Structure 1
Amino acid sequence: MEPMLCPSCKTNRTRFNLIQQQPTAVKLHPQTGEIEQEYTNDALDPFHLPYSGPSYRVQCAACGLIENPEMFIKRAQHSFLNK
């Protein structure tokens, strides 16, 4: 883990929620929205791309902003360079 700083409120360096992202690949019925099929990453439908986003996201526990971890890390790095 690296130092973080909220890019929105610009004061929080210590209180964050780490949100684990565990995607489930599914096929939905177009009219009802019911799950018709669940896929595993090694058995996806040819037209179903695998999830390629971050494994977790970060929420500032002071202002509520939710972003990718890089946004918080880059803000902290930028802040340290400007001191």
Structure 2
Amino acid sequence: MAEPYLCPNCKTNRSRFNLIQQVVTPVKIDSKSGDVLEQYQNNEEGPLHMPYRGPELRVQCATCGLIEDERMFIKRAQQQ
């Protein structure tokens, strides 16, 4: 279900936003060169690799440029 947004920073924008979908790629890199040594698939990261637990979607206000979690924009709209 769609929810209305209101920018928590500029407090005027209700209609112009950039939706940023975060795509997680778990990798192991070489500590000296920075080259990717291994790219993990299907939650096979191993015991020393914590899985990503952040939001899948972030929102950017197309008026002031603030980037935050979607819930921040939704909560601000609910307060008004």
TM-score (ref. length: structure 2) = 0.94
Amino acid paired to 2:24 = P
Aligned residue for 1:75, secondary structure, equals: helix
Determine what percentage of the aligned residue pairs are the same residue: 58
Report the secondary structure of 1:59's partner residue: strand
Superposed CA RMSD? 0.8
CA distance in 2, matches of 1:36, 1:4: 41
Give 5+ residue unaligned stretches, structure 2: none
CA change 1:56–1:68 in 2 (3 A) is same
Q: Deviations for 1:14-52, whole angstroms, at most 9, x for unmatched residues?
A: 000000100100011001111010012421121111111
Q: Which runs of structure 1 show a deviation greater than 3 angstroms over 4 or more consecutive aligned residues?
A: none
Secondary structure (helix, strand or coil) at the match of 1:71 reads: helix
Whether the aligned pair in 2 keeps the contact of 1:41 and 1:50 (CA below 8 Å) is no
Aligned to 1:6: 7
Give the Cα separation in 1 of the matches to 2:55 and 2:49. 18
